[in-house]
């Protein structure tokens, strides 16, 4: 969004012709002796919280940068309508008064006090390349690096939305791609491991489909495999076909999480199909954040969720968003880091010692010998010397544990030193592509531990334990098309013999109570030759190690 300092008016052009205006307003796991790094983590199209549980944003935007004295009360009020998240507008000083590190620390604490996940965004870059007053994405990135010490240790509670709508219309596609690749790499080099959120081009609405076509390219630049994306839905999205088409296409193409980071019921008299946005978000398990709590300028006052900041006086739009079908009250679930749904999270881990390792190092493994490296789906990483499983951070750089690397399918795995890449053994297995990543685990957890697979001439099905702790686990089933023609629709089944049970799932419709059956959700029903579809689930287990049942179905037997 683009804004002036006082009246928050935004001007947008769509299809390169029509100019519009719009008002602007929006932890690390408990530091253990093992320096295990927690926080939100991307897993396919799902965002997992610090306990490895699925988290779907259901919240609103709040314009802190222009209403700094309203924020503490606003967050309490936002929580009172049962929202689970809030996107907060910050300023890096390029257009408005810089939000200090102290302010950011206060915002995070106020959000935590109210069981809200904070999505923090820098607003000064809105519409760059078209809006002359806009700042640069590079400087916005520098802001996050400057306040890194305030953010570190809050990985369970904070998502970094690097910049709001950082490119306007008529900007080369390469600017959005290259600018975000550079931003991600700079943030990771600074030691920040938080989930990153990227806004779409075209003032966030992506009508030229720059993000839709290139999200995977940007996500691949993230050494943490922990990047998700946001589209803002205003007058470009006036019917369900447009809304659902964008969402389903994005999810099936990229296998990455998507949210609707901003939307309203109208925009300057132009209709927005908010009912369909809410329905599609619920159907596809994606997050949404309504714009905005209060304070919009008079010409777009209909975007205020509350009248004059009064939580007891909702606008028509606010009542629809909060109390209507598929609205916040009906669908929001609090992140489990606030209710003990796994491990706790409080203090920080220094960036030099943190890692994405999902297990506890015990004895040191031997260092990589003979020039061995890990070929992680086409990218070479060093093998960890001391981290026993998952990803690690050693000698100020990311590394992959030997056991995790060796589990990768050919032609990936351990390379160099006369060692060829390995196929999947019965040990750990990890994410199938750069768009998926290891889920965080509890201090006593074990990283992806085992897998089993079955296949026929046309397809193969693999069951993988992606994380386990105490009496809980998360798993995934991956269906790969090994044939020459598309698989259209799939159904797989599995059965536990040790008392394990599934408690929730994502990216598939799971039914039964052991045996279990899973079917496609529509957008992931078609599997092209060479493509892999993955769905995940969480459950309870009855033994020290989560079991690995066989998977059956016509697509894999």
Parallel, antiparallel or unpaired: strands 310-314 and 306-307: antiparallel
Residues in the chain: 557
How far is residue 395's CA from residue 156's CA, in Å, rounded to a whole number? 25
Preceding omega of 515 cis (within 30 degrees of 0): yes
User: How far is it, in rounded angstroms, from Cα 441 to Cα 50?
Assistant: 8
Residues labelled catalytic: 165, 262
Q: How far is CA 322 from CA 244, 316, 317, 326, 425, in A?
A: 21, 10, 9, 9, 48
- Rounded to a whole number of angstroms, the distance between the first and last alpha carbons of the chain is 51
Helix or strand run (H / E) with residue 21: strand 18-21
Q: β-strands 501-506, 41-43: how paired? A: unpaired
User: Cα(384)–Cα(390) distance, rounded to whole angstroms?
Assistant: 9
DSSP 468: E
| Separation between Cα atoms, residue 515 and residue 183, nearest integer Å | 46
- Note whether 84 and 332 are within 8 A (CB): yes
d(CA 556, CA 150): 48
Task: Using DSSP, state whether 245 is helix, strand or coil.
Answer: helix
Give kind and range of the element (H or E) at residue 111: helix 101-113
Residue entry with tokens 């092209």: 528
Tell me the CA distances in angstroms from 26 to 42, 249, 282, 444, one per residue in order. Answer: 23, 27, 22, 37
CA distances from 90 to 60, 139, 193, 245 (A): 15, 13, 20, 32
Alpha carbons 268 and 83: distance in angstroms, whole number: 26
Q: Look at the block and give the residue holding tokens 């009248």.
A: 307
């Amino acid at each position: 969004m683009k804004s002036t300092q006082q009246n928050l008016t935004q001007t947008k052009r769509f299809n390169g012709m029509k100019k519009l205006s719009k008002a602007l307003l929006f932890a690390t796991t408990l530091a253990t002796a093992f320096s295990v790094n927690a926080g939100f983590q991307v897993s396919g199209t799902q965002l997992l919280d610090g306990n490895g549980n699925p988290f779907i944003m259901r919240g609103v935007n709040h314009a802190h940068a222009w209403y700094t004295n309203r924020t503490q009360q606003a967050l309490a009020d936002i929580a009172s309508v049962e929202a689970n998240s809030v996107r907060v507008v910050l300023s890096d000083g390029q257009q408005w008064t810089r939000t200090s590190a102290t302010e950011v620390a206060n915002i995070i604490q106020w959000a935590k006090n109210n069981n809200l996940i904070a999505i923090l965004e820098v607003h000064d870059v809105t519409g760059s390349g078209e809006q002359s007053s806009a700042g640069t994405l590079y400087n916005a990135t520098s802001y996050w690096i400057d306040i890194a010490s305030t953010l570190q240790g809050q990985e369970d509670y904070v998502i970094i939305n690097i910049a709001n709508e950082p490119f306007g219309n008529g900007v080369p596609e390469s600017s959005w791609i290259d600018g975000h690749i550079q931003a991600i790499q700079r943030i990771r080099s600074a030691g920040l491991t938080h989930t990153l959120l990227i806004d779409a081009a075209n003032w966030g609405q992506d009508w030229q489909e720059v993000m839709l076509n290139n999200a995977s390219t940007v996500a691949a630049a993230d050494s943490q495999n922990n990047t998700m994306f946001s589209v803002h839905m205003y007058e470009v999205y006036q019917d369900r076909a447009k809304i659902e088409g964008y969402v389903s296409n994005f999810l099936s193409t990229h296998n990455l999480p998507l949210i609707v980071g901003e939307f309203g019921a109208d925009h300057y008299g132009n209709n927005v199909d908010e009912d369909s946005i809410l329905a599609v978000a619920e159907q596809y398990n994606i997050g949404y954040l309504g714009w905005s709590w209060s304070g919009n300028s008079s010409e777009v006052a209909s975007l205020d969720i509350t009248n004059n900041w009064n939580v007891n006086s909702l606008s028509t739009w606010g009542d629809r968003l909060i109390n209507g079908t598929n609205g916040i009250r009906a669908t929001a679930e609090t992140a489990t880091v606030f209710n003990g749904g796994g491990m706790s999270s409080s203090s920080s881990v220094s960036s030099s010692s943190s890692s994405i390792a999902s297990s506890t190092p015990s004895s040191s493994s031997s260092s990589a010998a003979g020039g061995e490296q890990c070929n992680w789906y086409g990218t070479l990483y060093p093998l960890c010397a001391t981290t026993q499983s998952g990803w690690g951070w050693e000698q100020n750089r990311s590394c992959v544990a030997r056991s995790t690397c060796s589990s990768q399918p050919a032609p990936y795995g351990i390379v160099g030193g006369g060692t060829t890449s390995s196929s999947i053994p019965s040990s750990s297995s990890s994410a199938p592509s750069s768009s998926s990543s290891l889920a965080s685990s509890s201090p006593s957890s074990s990283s992806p531990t085992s897998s089993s697979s079955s296949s026929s001439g046309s397809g193969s099905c693999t069951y993988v334990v992606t994380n386990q702790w105490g009496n809980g686990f998360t798993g995934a089933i991956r269906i790969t098309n090994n044939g020459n023609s598309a698989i259209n629709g799939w159904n797989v089944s599995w059965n536990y013999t040790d008392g394990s049970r599934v408690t929730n799932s994502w990216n598939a419709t799971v039914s039964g109570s052991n045996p279990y059956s899973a079917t496609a959700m529509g957008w992931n029903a078609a599997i092209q030759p060479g493509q892999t579809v993955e769905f995940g689930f969480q459950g309870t287990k009855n033994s020290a190690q989560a079991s690995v049942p066989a998977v059956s179905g016509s697509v894999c037997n």
